[in-house]
Structure 1
């Protein structure tokens, strides 16, 4: 073990100042040992085998149950909210986050960070302290259940969650002691808010922040029986002050985060060797390496250097077809999971479709058809929903009704973290907040991915095109699928709809064109495109 003078000086300063949230168990540091080349090779092989195990569905649980949902502080009460009903489902892995904000707050029995015990306002039901005092650490409860039910468990660490920046009632209550004591470690302030992201984000250019992040992960790896750790970089996407104030990440920022990942990898392998089985490192990141790198996340370097074992992509937005991320991950022998977040489409008519069971089936079918190794659901918490028993088996999905559309979410939020983020969009999106204007005599087109062959599955297809304003002559707008004009009629308010020939649609990318007659008096705005797939009983 190398002698780290800078880290020793930091720890001495912490001891002198009496800041207990940075305390580290002595035994953790003493156990650190360098792996020999043969041990490294053996551990790499064990990690690779574990990384490629079958994970049909990964269930990301944000860990809010101890704070909001329990009537009593017991393990069973905790499990019954979101976990016990998953037994027998296609969920092979749970990523469990012990609380969602802010950096340093947790609902497991941390000695390095701060346990979230706030009970003010709508947090009055918070039973975290009672659970821990009763010997029922939520992370241990989850670990025990997973072992009993042959389900894999990862601890999910939100690397820079900033729910504490909200102006809603909960914002100030989620603001942790660490940030109050060290405002200089944040990217901004309530009075000086940054251009990109949120002011309560911690700045990883500070070595103290990197050291804390490392020790949060180390504490879990050494003290809890987990199969892996997820470093969730999508909650939220601001990590450096430089980027928050409008400059792309430079060498310093990239090096800081790369070194943190290297340090976590080394520690996880050391602990893995001691306990006799690997601790996997998973990441959730944007699906554009170029966009991520501007933010300071050097994803391809992490993959190239074997610092991560599993990669999940997307969250608030998706910038590329799934196959782009699959090709990247598989190039470095890393499995790739499709992150399916809940729809936040503001238009309620569209959202009802995007958030429907059929909508999730279509999204999952598209992801599977482009080669992902499994699906990952985020902000979906009803453990009794049929999706947990459907989305993980692509063959099963083929015979289930579904709907295909271009995006369950828009991509406006891509600009929240980097003002020019939309420049990285490499997909066609047609939704009410990303509509298309068709001028008289003109044709516009969009690509609609379809994750199945309708002819092979003997499906019936219904196409629906939503218009902002219905033209006086509803047939003035022609709809063309892969070169074939289809007959649609105004069967619903502001919708052109009709059954179409399955032979017109192919598995993969389909070009849908909208052609407006030159005789039309004004442009037509197309707001949505839906392909409904049904099967005979």
Structure 2
């Protein structure tokens, strides 16, 4: 029905939590199957979304195992089972000529803080603790240590673990009429012991080959091929360092599509490198944006203002400038579901009718950002530009701007956040060798930039101030944004 090399403007990922009664709260009122479909799925129809991605869970049956019961992940009575819920979404998508993929979280560790093994998200873990990447004692190391999350992940070094996962994929892909099947290696990122990932990468390549064979056999039986997708970390290098030899998968034609990116470093991602591989092997590359970025401004401002949609537009504009094959959106729906300061549902779904084409982004207000911290997924991410120290020495920071740089109707306003106010502090930026002084505005620094100062693509951007670096109390730049206003 849907060719693997078809054009996909927006790919929309749904974590499928609306099938559970725990989400029966505003903005939703679940009373029947149609209200379930209308919650997150119907708003994508008639937009620029060409592919719907339904999270099938973590490889446990039912999804999330014992951990689900502890966290009230109970399927709505009117749906009955997670299998029925899945088929209802598939039917709704196909009825609206929408391609749909099943997406398996390959090694989810949301259960890393459980009190006992029996409460983890797959009973296979408690039955075989020897197959985990750590022990439950690692849980208490402190969240500054990735081991406190990693311990609950399965170790794919063991054949039994690979067999367990392959068996689930076969059963799930046979049971449901998905058009494609995605392995999500970004939730979470650890599949092998620390330090052994490169050595064990061939095991994962063999596993990918086995999945390819399974999906091909199912496709032959149903007389319709399965599209095989992998969702991997930010770069070819970070993927390989985690045991994912994506280039080998591509060169051997084991996968049909690559979705790249953790979603937190959209401007620093080496899109050009991914595009080169995609062109070399004839495989589309889609870039993934997590719409819940990890910077402070998101928590303080984006969740309660239209700045959020400007940020999404800015990323999309940059990515289309980079000639991506399409945009993959993660966690979009969550913004109208927060218990505190939720956004209006119409605002949340508005990007789906804007960011899929360059023409619908033109003349829309945007925010371009310099990538900041990435949380616990550092090993899967490219290096962040921020935070950085500010002193009398000019510090070069990567600043990318999309098509708006050439728009004479755009006004650009620069915003900079620091870790302190700084008495008698003066700050300058130099954009493509033009110096501009910033003025303090409440809790941050701001400047309207001269007309024509930006160019499309990478801009030469430096920052400096009038104070020498002080070791015991340094001035630190935490966030930098550029608003494009029309």
* 2:134 corresponds to 1:188: yes
Instruction: Pick closer, same or farther for the CA change 1:478–1:394 going to 2, 3 Å.
Output: same
* Contact 1:340-1:376 within 8 A present in 2 as well: yes
1:215 matched to which residue of 2?
Answer: 167
Alignment of 1:28-427 (within 5 A): 50-67=3-20, 68-70=22-24, 74-99=32-57, 101=58, 103-107=59-63, 116=65, 120=69, 122-123=71-72, 126-127=74-75, 131-132=79-80, 137-167=84-114, 173-192=119-138, 196=147, 197-240=149-192, 242-243=193-194, 247-251=195-199, 253-315=200-262, 317-318=264-265, 320-345=269-294, 347-348=296-297, 352-353=301-302, 356-381=308-333, 382=336, 384=346, 385=348, 386-407=350-371, 410-415=373-378, 418=379, 425=383
Unaligned runs of 5+ in 2: 140-144, 337-344
Shift of residue 290, structure 1, vs aligned partner: 2.1
2:434 matched to which residue of 1?
Answer: 484
Q: Distance in 2 between matches of 1:249 and 1:190?
A: 22
* Contact 1:316-1:411 within 8 A present in 2 as well: no
- Secondary structure (helix, strand or coil) at the match of 2:3 reads helix
* Contact 1:60-1:376 within 8 A present in 2 as well: yes
Alignment of 1:435-450 (within 5 A): 436-440=388-392, 442-450=393-401
1:527 matched to which residue of 2?
Answer: 478
Deviations 1:181-214 (A, max 9, x none): 2222212221256964521111112212212222
How many residues in Structure 1 have an aligned counterpart in Structure 2? 456
* Contact 1:399-1:457 within 8 A present in 2 as well: no
Unaligned runs of 5+ in 1: 1-45, 108-114
- Secondary structure (helix, strand or coil) at the match of 2:480 reads strand
Instruction: Pick closer, same or farther for the CA change 1:349–1:199 going to 2, 3 Å.
Output: closer
Q: Distance in 1 between matches of 2:483 and 2:376?
A: 28
RMSD over aligned Cα, in angstroms? 3.0
Q: Distance in 2 between matches of 1:73 and 1:91?
A: 26
1:33 matched to which residue of 2?
Answer: none
Deviations 1:432-489 (A, max 9, x none): xx2x22223x211211100114333521111222333344445x32221000112433
TM-score, L = length of structure 1? 0.77
Q: Distance in 1 between matches of 2:115 and 2:365?
A: 39
Q: Distance in 2 between matches of 1:518 and 1:209?
A: 56
- Secondary structure (helix, strand or coil) at the match of 1:391 reads coil
* Contact 1:60-1:377 within 8 A present in 2 as well: yes
Instruction: Pick closer, same or farther for the CA change 1:351–1:261 going to 2, 3 Å.
Output: farther
Q: Distance in 2 between matches of 1:477 and 1:439?
A: 9
TM-score, L = length of structure 2? 0.85
The counterpart of 1:429, out of the listed 375, 385, 388, is 385
Shift of residue 73, structure 1, vs aligned partner: 7.2
Instruction: Pick closer, same or farther for the CA change 1:444–1:119 going to 2, 3 Å.
Output: closer
* Contact 2:189-2:377 within 8 A present in 1 as well: no
Q: Distance in 1 between matches of 2:114 and 2:123?
A: 18
- Secondary structure (helix, strand or coil) at the match of 2:403 reads coil
Q: Distance in 2 between matches of 1:388 and 1:224?
A: 26
Deviations 1:86-135 (A, max 9, x none): 22111111110123x4x42445xxxxxxx858775551x712676246x9
- Secondary structure (helix, strand or coil) at the match of 1:505 reads coil
* Contact 2:67-2:121 within 8 A present in 1 as well: no
